[in-house]
Amino acid sequence: MEPGELVGVKGEGRKVTGSEFAHRPVMLEDVLELFAPVETGIIVDGTLGAGGHSLGLLDRSRELCVLGIDRDPSAIGAATSRLAAYAQRFVALHRDFDQFDLALEEACGTNRAFCGRAAGLLLDLGVSSPQLEVGERGFSYRVEGPLDMRMDPTRGQTVAKYLDSVSLQELSQLLRENGEHRFSSRIARAILDGRPYRSTVELAEVVKSAIPAAARRSGGHPATRVFQALRIKVNDELEKLQVALGKAFGLLLPGGRIVVLSYHSGEDSIVKSLFREQVTGGCTCPPRLECVCGAKPRAKYLVKSKAPSKVEIEENPRARSARLRSIEMLTAPEQAKGAANG
């Protein structure tokens, strides 16, 4: 997540400048420290944004190559301009992060430095500051704009289209799964009764009016979780995360590292579960007892769970919900040591 002029984002030919797209990378020093042992080879930045994390990686080692992937063509333009000085070791491609294997094949076709298995995968999930702040993208309830929310504005279903056809049961379930436990059905009914929608602010007002005044006095804007749930749904974010990590477990080099920054409990739950399965080898024995089922660890923990420091949150408030997790894929000798206890 995450200079120069970018391609138009949407609508009336508006263009986003690189300065608009740039923002402070979350937990940058932690990410660089985790990838420090990877001095050569390819690291895939699957959520490139403006390239802040990639810039740090390329600066750290002259033997490192970074393949940047992003669903947002504006991000590709921003990062390509920002990292132009690293053109021999940096390639940016417009793809979903669950297609990083196909992106590697494509990059290899134009730059031999990108032929081979990756030594690392970085995923900085969620929506970027520039996407939130550009009204035409429709991500924010605070900024007037069309109800879009597509990470890739060139394809897929907008939130407005999704709401035109969704059932009450499905929408209630979606909101419930994304934190609206008390008022999910009430909000869903109000949203459906208010269709069709012309703007983000219009939807936000409907959500706000559906929640009792007493419940609105704390906990931030009532539309926060609703907008997040709709964004995750139309972009298939949770499904793509599972696919991407499943591929990474089988395609990274032995000793390859995976670093994931999550900002939502659904994302973090998937990462936590899939990482645990790799670290335990799928062990089914009771916790805290010696494994007797014959499971063989395929990875070891580098960071089980870490939040940003108080200093970083003060300097960059949008980092406050971040959760970092990281594992290293094992070689055969390391598996024999029982790395699940790492």
Structural domains in the chain plus CATH codes: 5-129+237-341 (3.40.50.150), 153-234 (1.10.150.170)
Helices 52-60 + 28-35 axis angle, to 10: 40
* CA angle (180 as vertex; 178, 183 as ends), nearest 5: 155
Residue 337 clears pLDDT 90, i.e. is over it: no
Rg (CA), the chain: 21
Q: Look up residue 117 and give its amino acid.
A: R
pLDDT for the residue numbered 71: 96
Cβ(103)–Cβ(44) under 8 Å? yes
Residue 244 clears pLDDT 60, i.e. is over it: yes
Classify 169 as helix, strand or coil: helix
Q: Tens of pLDDT along 29-75?
A: 999 999 999 999 999 999 999 899 999 999 999 999 999 999 999 99
Q: Tens of pLDDT along 193-239?
A: 999 998 999 999 999 999 988 878 777 788 999 999 999 999 999 99
Bridging pattern class, strands 323-329 and 299-306: antiparallel
Q: Tens of pLDDT along 7-36?
A: 222 222 233 444 445 567 999 999 999 999
Which helix (H) or strand (E) element contains residue 278?
helix 265-280
Q: For 331, which DSSP code?
A: P
Mean pLDDT throughout 144-170?
96
Cβ(245)–Cβ(271) under 8 Å? yes
Q: What is the pTM of this model?
A: 0.88
What proportion of the chain, given as a percentage, has pLDDT over 90?
77
pLDDT for the residue numbered 22: 53
Cis amide leading into 196 (omega within 30): yes
Mean pLDDT throughout 107-133?
93
Residue 191 clears pLDDT 90, i.e. is over it: yes
pLDDT for the residue numbered 20: 47
